[in-house]
């Protein structure tokens, strides 16, 4: 359902949070479903939150999750991260347009 909604809504950001410890089972399913629908996880911002052990973070980053927010992260921290990512993305798109000769 997450991947289908992401495709239908043409999302730029997906944040997943889980407290059960099933992140290594469920998060790869979401990434696989995104890819099956033609949504490239490298083209959107994927981030995760929840109770995620240190040793699982590299696995999630390898899947395409750019940031992992652990217990204690504030909503403000997450909002600022997403805003920074969006600003960098806009700047990158603008730079690409200038390189191609767009006005």
Task: Write the CATH number for 32.
Answer: 3.40.50.280
Instruction: Give the pLDDT band of residue 91 (cuts 50, 70, 90).
Output: confident
Percent of the chain with pLDDT over 70: 89
90 Cβ contact partners less than 8 Å away, ≥ 6 residues apart: none
Number of domains in the chain: 1
The pLDDT assigned to 94 comes to 65
Q: Dump pLDDT digits (tens) for 8-52.
A: 999 999 999 998 989 999 999 999 999 999 999 889 999 999 999
Domain range for residue 34? 2-71
């Amino acid at each position: 359902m997450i991947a289908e909604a992401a495709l239908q809504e043409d999302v730029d950001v997906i944040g997943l949070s889980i407290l059960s410890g099933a992140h290594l089972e469920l998060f790869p399913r979401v990434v696989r479903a995104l890819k099956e629908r033609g949504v490239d996880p490298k083209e959107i911002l994927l981030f995760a939150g929840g109770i995620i052990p240190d040793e699982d973070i590299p696995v999630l980053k390898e899947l395409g999750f750019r940031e992992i927010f652990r217990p204690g992260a504030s909503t403000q921290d997450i909002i600022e991260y997403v805003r920074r990512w969006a600003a960098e993305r806009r700047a990158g798109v603008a730079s690409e347009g200038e390189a191609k000769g767009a006005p």
